Structure 1
Amino acid sequence: MAAQNSGDARNAFLLGGSPSLEEVYNPVTGHALLIPGVPQLLPTPSADAVRIGIIDSGVLADHPQLRNLVVAMKSFAGTDPADNIGHGTLVALQTLRLHADPEIQGLLGEKFEYPALISARVTDQYGVPSVDAVIQAIDWVVEQGAKLVNLSLGFRGDTKEFENLCEAITQHSDTMFFAAAGNFGPEVKVYPAACSAPNLMSVGELRGGKVTASSGKGDIYAPTDDPLYQPWQYYLDLGNRASRAGDFVTARKQYALSLAQHKNTGALFQMALLDIQSEDFNTAVINLQQALELDPGATLVRSHLGAVRFMQERFDQAEILLSEALRQDPQDQQAAFNLGLTYLNLDRIDQALYTFQKLQQKNHEYPRLKEIIAETKRRLG
């Protein structure tokens, strides 16, 4: 295939923003941004795994969620094949997001495995791609067995300037290419997304479920506001998943890992819920108090701390906490119910009845409420 000029570097872009390289992965500290739901240190893909080409700024293959998955790397820009700006590593991580979907995994069953990634670097030290490098990279990733190829980059200019680029995609008809539509609005053509190739999909940008005004014209549109997790958030998410599955031992371990990374209200609160479930009320109080210190406005935490104090028969403290929780959130029905029970135990029957009746006005079907109100009225005589 004939060589082609890279064109004006001002019209050559990696598309979509990205954190810095050190934020995405710092091999010295081990800090890494993580995709929720994707395990770390995955096994090397089998020979039958889908191969995905990442044509970008390279990939840091030692990232904990990419390690073992990057089966081939090469630079076509006279640079080291490893990522030096973070963009390509972020793109590689985003390709794993779909594979983290439990529904996708369930559909594939025993055949499910994470893909093999083939990284082709096409950018100079400043992150600027060249057309020549992209054309060479396209041929190479296909030779390496890529059946899906991601191109989160683009070039602006006249259509004739990119004939060879479009031809490079078209001639590999057994491979599907996905190219970013650009961030310059729907009227601006960005190549290779604007190439007329049957095996190419132009991908526009969604934010909050809506097409962004700056998005190029896409054949499909994909969200770009999905979160990347800090390690503490990642472990908190894993803990929540394990807890929902009823695996409370694993959940506790993941919450502990989250707290080891960064003391956070979410993990402390979830740990407290596990403590309450195991009737370890003293530890629950410690975790809930620490959570409140971090976030005094966390009404749910305050409400649960009040409930634990009630279970410990420390009714004066329970009253203070539950009353504060209701002031913060008058719709907290659990706090209202527990406050009514607290008044009963403090022998303040009038206040208990008033609190229960206010709750009944909001929710006639609140569990046990009718019986409790009847009993409270009997105690009033």
Structure 2
Amino acid sequence: MNFTRIVHTLHPPCHGDRLQQQNTRHILTFHDPGLYAALRQQWLTSARAGAASRVFWAPLAQCIIAPSPLAEQIEKKWRHEAVTEEDSTIHLSGLSSRTGGGPGIPWGVKAIKAPQAWSISTGYGIKVGVIDTGIDVGHPDLQHSLGRGINLVHRGLPPFDDNGHGTHISGTIAAANSTRGMIGVAPRSIIYPVKAFDANGSAYVSDIIAGIDWCVRSGADLINMSFGMQTRSRSLLDIVNRAGQAGIVVVASSGNDGKRRAIDYPARYPQTISVGATDRKRKIASFSNRGQYVDIYAPGDKIMSAWLHGKYHEMSGTSMATSHVSGTIALLLAQRPGLKPAAIKALLQRTAVPLRLQRGISSSEGEINTLKFIREGLRG
């Protein structure tokens, strides 16, 4: 097969700033792994700097992400070799509230009985990929919980957080400052920050795909995805599948629209663990999506956690609930490495505590109980 034709397509003549101004992108997923591998290899040996900055590769998903004019040219010539999808945007699942002081052990961490489980596990060494807005690398509560990361918004720079959401999520999972700051659910786990979202809390689906790809190749044990969208993406589903096949647990937020029979993607994919939010009364929070597609609930209302510039902030959302679940899973994986995602999901549901009765809520819907989850998981 003539790979040179494809590579030439990806290196078009320069037409002023037209491509630089082009914001829309497409995701091309190749059917044949051999074709994709050969194409990528030839690209890497012949790419010019200008074109290289416009085309991105996700080897795990066998994807090329390219500006629309380039993608359209590839699609015309190779429509039988690849599936093309327009690159859409995706948003965070957190609702901002107020800034506050150091919380010690936040109420949500206490409510799920995480402190009682710390004599069994603190999540030592478990790598949690947090695909979000980055992280405050200088936050004192996260200094001992920070691993390697990547910035997909400003490539080549560290994953600095310019929004706050990613730092908040990371704090709930892995903050470890018992003297002056806060403690997260799994204080000895390691955050692998992936900055895919900009300062406004928006990201491209292609950057989520690239982030999952990076987490898998970097050896993450689980991935926290506190974001969602209402449209289905075949490319995103494909790489979530591949992450699961690699043994990586993917935890995703159900969304903040208060819906009873629908949740956001990617949480709606059965390959993820979908999370809804509860309040201090152990009732489903008014903003949380709920129903049959939600696998587990966790505290998500008025959650205090780490914030930018070493501060703290209170936020609400299924984003916050998701980080409690990710931390809990990290605790178990530290004691039972290699436990399969499907087994973890089943265990979460089996050990959940029934929610307070509400109109329209099934008795089968439950809130996470970290201590019970860990104990039962170690018996299995």
TM-score by length of 1: 0.46
Return the structure number with greater relative CO, CA threshold 8 A, min gap 6.
2
Q: Is the radius of gyration larger for structure 1 or structure 2?
A: 1
Higher strand proportion: 2
Structure (1 or 2) with the greater helix fraction: 1
